[in-house]
Structure 1
Amino acid sequence: MYNDIILIKWGENMTEIARFYNDFQPTHYDIYIDVNRETKKIKGTTKITGVAKSTDIAIHQKDLNINLVEVSGKPREFVLDTASDALRLTVEKPGEVEVKIGYETKLTDSMMGIYPSYYEIDGVQKQIIGTQFETNFARQAFPCVDEPEAKATFSLALKYDEKQGETTLANMPENHVENGVHYFDTTVRMSTYLVAFAFGDLQAKYTETKSGVKIGVFATKAHKAKELDFGLDIAKRSIEFYEDFYETPYPLPHSWQLALPDFSAGAMENWGLVTYREVYLTLDPDNTSLDMKQLVATVIAHELAHQWFGDLVTMKWWDDLWLNESFANMMEYVAIDALEPEWGIWETFQATENPAALQRDATDGVQSVHVQVKNPAEIDALFDGAIVYAKGARMLVMVRSLIGDNALRAGLKNYFKEHQYANATGSDLWQALGEASGMDILAIVNSWLEQPGYPVVSAKLVNDELILSQQQFFIGEGNDIGRIWQIPLSSNYPEIPAIMSEKEIKISNFASLKSRNKAPLQINVGNNAHFIVKYDQTLLSDILENANEYDAITQLQILQDLKLLAEGNIVSYETIVPLLTKFADSKYVLVNKALYGIVGNLRKFVTPKSEEEKNLRRLYNKLSFAQLERLGWVQKSEESVDDQLTRPYVVNAAIYGDNKMAIKQAHDLFNASENQIANLPADVRAVILKNEVVNYGDTKLFDKLLQAHRQSSDGSFKSDICVALTSSQETAFLKVLVDKFEDANIIKPQDLRAWFAGVLSNSVGEQLAWDWIRNDWQWLEDTVGGDMEFTTFITVIARVLRTTTRLTEFKTFFEPKLEVPGLTREIKMDVKVIESRVKLISEQKDSVNHAIKKVLD
């Protein structure tokens, strides 16, 4: 009698998601967990108090050996339904019921559930235990109704093979310790995926907010104590900022931030115990690049934004995942802009979130921001960063710009008050913001949230009439079904309508409009809305005439839109190449990042080690030469934030451009480091190391860097080494790296994607990496297949492959996996990505290389 279960044809007859909460609604959990690190075994007892809505109920469990089930103190028969991760049983009658379940299980090595993190101190391997329960991995730790809507309170009792001086952490403060068992205060009402705990030999630093919230940062003792300071400061000030901005107090006694040596995602917003990859929480304040500090700050602010938006008020079901992530993605920038205004963090949003969303969202078959979830395997596949995070955040930035901060804050305050300790849907948010602003927000955002993709707005002049039209933009083949968006045009001409809700708009007497406005026509001023613009040649020439006099965002937008139009084969890269020199001397990091992004895209049109590639290198040198002389390699006192952030792009371009002076300068800096390579200037360290490997590398250097990577606890330094080593031009060295892919003592599974991507994108290593992933796919799936970012290994491949041979190989390998739930969408999209690249190269290769040569003449 499980009427809500429908069997559907989905791969291996997967079961459509049954919502257990409909039949059993827990109100409180008493959880006892005993972990033995030596044997990797867990013993547990969970007592669930709740309300049965039916006599037949189900409780989630996965890979638990159940040895006891009692209902109201009496043993009860049960059935394990492994296909649905369910323990099924009957109760005598609907109403309040108490279910007690005893079980045994194991620590996982998948970075999901309860798992060990490994690290070394003085060559001795150690471990700490942590948890990761999002999306649906709490069921691997204790029996529960593992759904966001199934909120309850939790009392945790934790025992482990404790050694003197170890630290034990959880969502709530520790209440007392008795007979080796750590008891914690009962939580507030919350979802299972936010439950968290950890223990091990940790160091900590503490502070307190103005309102009395205790803030702590925890890390292994492999880190220097000073590496905790930055995160502690950002966490404290973020909590204070959000309490003020949301006008809603932080609802827990403490906010712990924990750096885990092994962590599948970037960070996780567990309520009161936020967990992070080490690289996103700990940093050396004396030698970390500004862009890395910005990244760490925004990650911390993102997770702490969730403490209200996601934790206090939680999405009702996973189809509204964007409600959590898009909002936190926007708020991280709102917060850091307030905390560190000199950083100009919104420019980072423009330079990172915007292009990621625009590129991904242009492939036919991409998911919409709000997407239905019909199958358990689809849940983890929802975490498409470019859509759920970046595009969703762009939607909210658009809404913020329309309603203003006062209405945003008032709406959020009411939203939190109405739904605190409960669940909400997207419509609940739009209603709250609509009431606060007096606007029909849903009518504006609905077309952006429910439809995949975005439009290109074409602007053309016909007999003094301006014609604006919208059409879905695709990179590669796309099925245009006539989608229409509510587009905020945001033109610098006030006569242009604020919202374009139809297919086409015609505006007469353009010459008169231009005379009145005395400026070239621009659309999407500020680049806040999620679309691109194709101007006809007359309008574009008008804009480009004084292009380098515009503000940074306008210049970025010119380059961004032209690049996307070229990728979509609507314009030719041939027409963009001559424009690049116009922007080469810009002092805006936004412009330089966009510029070198385009120049980097030109690499696909040249064959490695050919005359064409030599010309491209000469173009790199031409574009970067003056900037290298202006900026140099070492930061100057009082230089601007833009200069600090621009320098890495310039020096990297100069090295690729075979600038002999730059190559020698980098080599001299390396030699001057006196083997203290971690102390090289962090903003250019990756480029210096890469130059050394590519131009001066030998076995001694290779071994030295690999050893430094293994011994260091500095995440950004380890990342720099990865960049350098995977750039080697020696096949033998790259083969050694590929052979280390499956050695977790050298390359942690959490870092594997970066190493794989580095070797694959290196023309010398492409075959090695491509062969490895096809030969060892099963190992990869067994090792990180439960990771919500597993599909991005396929995304990485699709970013690199560019020939008809590789396209055929990709199809041959991945198309048999089309029926694997969670992989289907990614494989279909990435076939189109590679097909479009192959076609683009075929059609534009000759003209692009001719244009490069012409610029150099």
Structure 2
Amino acid sequence: MVAGQRLVDIFQPTHYDIYLDINRATKDIAGTVAIKGGAKQTEILLHQKFMTVQQVMIDDQVVSAVVDDDSETIAFTAPHTGEITIVVDYTAPLTDTMMGIYPSYYQINGEKKQLIGTQFETTAARQAFPSVDEPAAKATFSLAIKYDEQVGETIIANMPEEKVVDGVHYFAETVKMSTYLVAFAFGDMQSKLTQTNSGVQVGVFSTKAHQASELNFALDIAKRAIEFFEDYYQTPYPLPHSWQLALPDFSAGAMENWGLVTYREAYLALDENNASLEMKQRVATVIAHELARQWFGDLVTMQWWDDLWLNESFANMMEYVAIDALEPDWHIWELFQTSEAAAALQRDATDGVQSVHVQVEEPAEIDAIFDGAIVYAKGSRMLVMVRALIGDDALRRGLKAYFEAHQYGNARGADLWAALGQAAGIDLTTMMNTWLEQPGYPVLTVEVVAGQLQLSQQQFFIGDGVDQDRQWQIPLNSNYTDVQELMVTNKVVLGDYKTMRQQAGAPFRLNVGNTAHFIVNYAPDLLQEILADIDNLDAITQLQLLQDLRLLAEGCQISYAVIVPLLRSFANSHSGVVNTALYQVVNNLKKFVMTGTEAENQLQQLVNQLSADQFTRLGWQGQSDETVADQVSRPVIVDAALYAKNAVAVSSAHELVVTNRTALVALPADVRADILANEVKRYGDRALFDQLLSDYQTTADGGYQRDIMVALTKTKDVTFIKEIISYFKNSDVIKPQDLRGWYRGILSNDQGQQLAWDWLRDEWTWLEKTVGGDMEFTTYITVTAAVFKTGKRLAEFKAFFEPKIDTPGLGREITMDVNVIAGRVDLITDEKTAVHQAISKAL
């Protein structure tokens, strides 16, 4: 094969007949696949992984085949080019890696059970059936599945079941689609069904470990989301049904398999009577994201994985567009500001970060590009920026044309910009290439020079960064109406500031609404003008000020000591986004103080002064008539009050545990993690530890499981820490999907950091074998770098990871994270004294 050539360039499948005989007891799959398609040459390659191939036939003739596990292929020679039918008989294993066809484990009344499901993105369909496992190799699929069926079990797939003959379940032929979207599942399931206005069957499926009522919320959101997207895209949902399935073991958050979307249980099943607003929003946005993908990604699919952002970025924006329409009282775009925007700005400031559009070839490289802060968060910010620029009507017209032109096919980023640009009557391609093809983003410096208001752009870095003179076309979005729409040069002079200021009657600001991906460094006098007018600024503008100041301090363009005295100006806000941004700054100050020192004590005093009145106002339990902003603020304020050792908060949290000791899941869900963490840290004993660990293993409530993980990893008892670590490799106690969270929790704990770090280094080979084929694998490196802050840890991190820098899929992350830790170490060294003095002075 020629380097860089795709298998689809050799053989283009048109239809697959797939027969699978799956034995859960032996964990074996016996399969036969018949692939019809067009051969463009006689030397044919198909993808396979972990397979034993018994026989390959072409047009009923047995041919010799060579299996190459390194390239994950089967090679053979066809008798002729043109239309052929390839039949492969093979066996393959059921694995416990949460990739391919795999079992999920759960318990009901102490009995261990399993549910079989699939996860084929990015390149794991080849673990289930030989194929051309590439996005552009679209074909139709007919599934026939036999399994060791027990009475009452259910099997579901992309399309409806047509018949059952001799224990074999036959499903209707799919529409034309990519291999990674094929999906099925079977086991002892329950479901709830409804129908959209256009007649699409919608269902939510789960194990019977959940209460039936826990499916109601997801069913309602899914139905309304499909109806919304059909209207917004002006394109019908193209399949007869849309099933949503909660899998007990699932590495990612969810997966957009066409017609059978799979989810981590916590992101689908929900107890509405005791679920936090955060979890309701999370479940709703995840469902909307995956259903947005049924069109944008499934109906029209990226040509190759380098355009992954086409799928993920767009769906990330559309989840907010949809939920804003379905649940307007939630003000969901505020969550976008505090989650997506914040994550993108932090990650994208690290030198070496990938661009949104990035070249990839090998499977490990493909898995490594699923950088949530870039492909999802930054990419969605790019699209929000475009939507703000062209308007919603043009966006919808452009999307309709895009779907019509490319449905059941593949597209590239340029195709989207062409469709949207034509609908809006502007050239989007040139502008968007500056954002998608380049990593990073600019900081705009605003100053008055010789009376003239002047802007200049330069790439912003946190930590060391090599300035490569990158330049962006920046939507300025100024509050001054006579300022140009786009900045396309490195510097621009806007005019006489006094005149402009008098005409506008307000301080000068950029990026109004925070819709564009840049930050602003206002000269001190201009910043003071804005801060003096703070009571007249909307919540997003206040969030933006805090966000930009925090990032500028992280990037050493201003001192954190400058920010400390400003915090009181925001402390009494009733806005959820302002409180979130304020305490993000406060939490960043914690890295400058050592545990048990006077500096930490002073920071706790300051945090108590900032949060005490708000804690008194909000309390532990929400009121029926309170605002969404209060619901968003409560967990932020409670966390701050408990960190500050607020006596009332600490004691009343303990009283809540005492009152609810027999059913800790009943604690107020919005703040349950904080209450439990307080109890574990300050009142914890063996009985509490055992109770929480038992609850973690037996509850079907994903939110409660997460809260237990947060709480138990806060323990100060080294005996308990060692016991938790001893369970890291025991999937009967700690689910592999949750392991990274447990590891990070212990690593963040001063008493557990050395033990967790030793575990990671000692067990790296096991970890790589267990989850190394998972697109989440590199985040073990990321979360480690997010915690380390000393020169000693930096040296250890480099010593362990730099020898692995040539491992496929790991190199970029290791290089970036060395930079992340080094920048943090330098920042603390340079700023610690000034920050301590600023905190002391602020008391």
TM-score by length of 2: 0.99
State the AA in 2 paired with 1:522.
Answer: R
Q: 2:624 aligns with which of 632, 637, 642?
A: 637
- Does 2:651 align with 1:698? no
Residues 318-717 of structure 1 correspond to what in structure 2 (within 5 A)?
Answer: 318-717=305-704
Name the residue aligned to 2:760. Answer: 773
Name the residue aligned to 2:245. Answer: 258
Taking the aligned partners of 1:262 and 1:169, their CA distance within structure 2 comes to 17
Name the residue aligned to 1:13. Answer: none
Deviations 1:127-175 (A, max 9, x none): 0100000000000000000000000000000000000000001000000
Taking the aligned partners of 1:442 and 1:270, their CA distance within structure 2 comes to 30
After TM superposition, give the deviation of residue 434 of structure 1 in Å. 1.1
Taking the aligned partners of 2:145 and 2:69, their CA distance within structure 1 comes to 27
SS at match of 1:83: coil
1:548, 1:555 within 8 Å by CA — same for their partners in 2? no
Taking the aligned partners of 1:79 and 1:777, their CA distance within structure 2 comes to 32
Deviations 1:169-194 (A, max 9, x none): 10000000000000000000000000
State the AA in 1 paired with 2:77.
Answer: T
Name the residue aligned to 1:219. Answer: 206
State the AA in 2 paired with 1:686.
Answer: A
- Does 2:41 align with 1:54? yes
Taking the aligned partners of 1:674 and 1:404, their CA distance within structure 2 comes to 53
After TM superposition, give the deviation of residue 80 of structure 1 in Å. 1.4
State the AA in 1 paired with 2:768.
Answer: E
State the AA in 1 paired with 2:130.
Answer: P
2:356, 2:374 within 8 Å by CA — same for their partners in 1? yes
Taking the aligned partners of 2:743 and 2:151, their CA distance within structure 1 comes to 40
After TM superposition, give the deviation of residue 739 of structure 1 in Å. 1.1
Q: 2:32 aligns with which of 36, 42, 45?
A: 45
Taking the aligned partners of 1:506 and 1:659, their CA distance within structure 2 comes to 50
Deviations 1:374-404 (A, max 9, x none): 3332100010000000000000001011111
- Does 2:733 align with 1:746? yes
2:66, 2:76 within 8 Å by CA — same for their partners in 1? yes
State the AA in 1 paired with 2:652.
Answer: Q
After TM superposition, give the deviation of residue 296 of structure 1 in Å. 0.4
1:279, 1:716 within 8 Å by CA — same for their partners in 2? yes
1:366, 1:825 within 8 Å by CA — same for their partners in 2? yes
Deviations 1:98-131 (A, max 9, x none): 0000001110110000000000011110001000
Taking the aligned partners of 1:71 and 1:429, their CA distance within structure 2 comes to 39
SS at match of 1:708: helix
- Does 2:10 align with 1:23? yes
SS at match of 1:807: helix
SS at match of 1:607: coil
Taking the aligned partners of 1:496 and 1:735, their CA distance within structure 2 comes to 60
Residues 287-298 of structure 1 correspond to what in structure 2 (within 5 A)?
Answer: 287-298=274-285
Percent of residue pairs bearing the same amino acid type: 61
Residues 53-452 of structure 1 correspond to what in structure 2 (within 5 A)?
Answer: 53-452=40-439
SS at match of 2:85: strand
2:255, 2:262 within 8 Å by CA — same for their partners in 1? yes
Taking the aligned partners of 2:279 and 2:79, their CA distance within structure 1 comes to 58
Taking the aligned partners of 2:23 and 2:694, their CA distance within structure 1 comes to 31
State the AA in 1 paired with 2:696.
Answer: H
SS at match of 1:286: helix
After TM superposition, give the deviation of residue 601 of structure 1 in Å. 0.4
Taking the aligned partners of 2:470 and 2:457, their CA distance within structure 1 comes to 9
2:364, 2:773 within 8 Å by CA — same for their partners in 1? no
> Runs (4+) of structure 1 moved beyond 2 Å?
none
Deviations 1:787-823 (A, max 9, x none): 1010001000111100000000000000000010100
1:633, 1:684 within 8 Å by CA — same for their partners in 2? yes
Taking the aligned partners of 1:476 and 1:674, their CA distance within structure 2 comes to 46
Q: Select between 258-267 and 758-767 the one with higher mean Cα deviation.
A: 758-767
SS at match of 1:508: strand
SS at match of 1:158: strand
1:548, 1:583 within 8 Å by CA — same for their partners in 2? no
1:548, 1:586 within 8 Å by CA — same for their partners in 2? no
Deviations 1:528-555 (A, max 9, x none): 0000000001100101112243111000
Deviations 1:206-265 (A, max 9, x none): 000000000010000000111000000000000000000001000000000000000011
State the AA in 1 paired with 2:342.
Answer: P
TM-score by length of 1: 0.98
SS at match of 1:795: helix
Q: 2:706 aligns with which of 719, 742, 767?
A: 719
Residues 766-805 of structure 1 correspond to what in structure 2 (within 5 A)?
Answer: 766-805=753-792
2:692, 2:708 within 8 Å by CA — same for their partners in 1? yes
Q: 1:809 aligns with which of 777, 781, 796?
A: 796
Taking the aligned partners of 1:775 and 1:89, their CA distance within structure 2 comes to 42
C-alpha root-mean-square deviation of aligned residues, in Å? 0.8
2:252, 2:776 within 8 Å by CA — same for their partners in 1? yes
After TM superposition, give the deviation of residue 81 of structure 1 in Å. 2.1
Taking the aligned partners of 2:207 and 2:361, their CA distance within structure 1 comes to 40
State the AA in 2 paired with 1:75.
Answer: V
2:54, 2:89 within 8 Å by CA — same for their partners in 1? yes
1:548, 1:582 within 8 Å by CA — same for their partners in 2? no
Q: Select between 490-499 and 298-307 the one with higher mean Cα deviation.
A: 490-499
State the AA in 2 paired with 1:524.
Answer: N
SS at match of 2:273: coil
SS at match of 2:274: coil
Aligned length: 843
Deviations 1:815-840 (A, max 9, x none): 00001010000000000000000000
Taking the aligned partners of 1:186 and 1:529, their CA distance within structure 2 comes to 44
2:124, 2:180 within 8 Å by CA — same for their partners in 1? yes
- Does 2:692 align with 1:736? no
State the AA in 2 paired with 1:401.
Answer: A
SS at match of 2:421: helix
Deviations 1:561-620 (A, max 9, x none): 000000001100000000011101100010101111010001110011111111111111
After TM superposition, give the deviation of residue 738 of structure 1 in Å. 1.1
State the AA in 1 paired with 2:450.
Answer: N
Q: Select between 663-672 and 560-569 the one with higher mean Cα deviation.
A: 663-672
State the AA in 2 paired with 1:51.
Answer: G
